[in-house]
Structure 1
Amino acid sequence: MSGSGAGFTNGALRPYVITKGRSRPSRNTIGVETLLVAADPPRALPLSATREEIALVRMCSQLLSLVEAAAHLQLPVSLVKVLASDLVDSGHLSARSGVPRAAQPDKQLLQEVLDGLRRLR
């Protein structure tokens, strides 16, 4: 390879190594708002676990969103999504969805309430 930037740099190679070569999670149900929590009782990670997987399971001893975990790990959300998905599949983490879209308040209704409150002044 030439020095034209066609090869991997350490920054591009490391995420590829951390996710064992995958760029997509095994589950499509994990989003940035997904809440992660470690299995209770905790399950021992395999000897092959990466330091990022170990750190993710440890920090999820308390309920933590995927995006918060990514910030703490200082890793891209897309990479942490792959790791979290693997750890959910292996039973080391549980994933809890955020508020279902159907249960979220209607934006039009909220705007009408806000407008009504402003008129009360």
Structure 2
Amino acid sequence: MSEPSQVPDEEGQFVRPFIITGGRSLPAQSDLRLETLVVALDAAEGAAPLAFEHQRIVTLCQEPTTVAHIAEAVGVPLGVAKVLVADLVVGGRLSCSQPAELPLHTLERIRDHVRAL
């Protein structure tokens, strides 16, 4: 039986993904895709402190970024990133939008980020 995937924390120790998501495997929003654009809302600044991964995502999303890029940058599986992003959207910290049509260079970047996972 193989070991479940693990995520390194700040000190190099490993935290299992289900700990980060509170045991949830499905996001609160089902419409999050790899190419969904995520941006932090102004109201997110000055709000109550966030857990490490949540804070890192809000920081990354000061500029619009994709769910795939968030997963790669935070170092978590895509499903975990979707749960975390959905939590932040529901909490009023992030806003999501689906791009109408993605340029080729964006699709290539998403592909590269997914391969890196």
Whether TM exceeds 0.5 here: the answer is yes
- Equivalent residue for 2:85? 84
Asked if the contact 1:37/1:60 (under 8 Å) is kept, the reply is: yes
Contact 1:18–1:50 (CA under 8 A) maintained in structure 2: no
CA deviation profile, 1:7-54 (whole Å, cap 9, x unmatched): x7682862111001100001111111100000024344534x320100
Partners of 2:20 and 2:96 in 1: CA distance: 20
SS at match of 2:42: coil
Q: Which amino acid aligns with 1:78?
A: G
Tell me which of 22, 30, 37 is aligned to 1:35.
Answer: 37
Aligned-residue sequence identity (percent) comes to 30
Alignment of 1:1-121 (within 5 A): 11=6, 14-47=16-49, 49-99=50-100
Unmatched 5+ stretches in structure 1 = 101-121
Cα RMSD over matched residues? 2.3
Structure 1 CA distance, aligned partners of 2:46 and 2:64? 19
> Structure 2: any 5+ residue segments left out of the alignment?
8-14, 102-117
* Paired AA for residue 20 in structure 1: G
Contact 2:37 2:64 in 1 (8 A): yes
Whole-angstrom CA distance in 2 between matches of 1:85 and 1:59: 15
2:86 partner amino acid: S
Give the secondary-structure state (helix, strand or coil) at the position aligned to 2:16.
helix
Amino acid at match of 1:75: V
Structure possessing the higher radius of gyration over alpha carbons: 1
- Paired residues, number: 94
- Shift of the 51–45 alpha-carbon distance from structure 1 to 2, 3 Å rule, reads farther
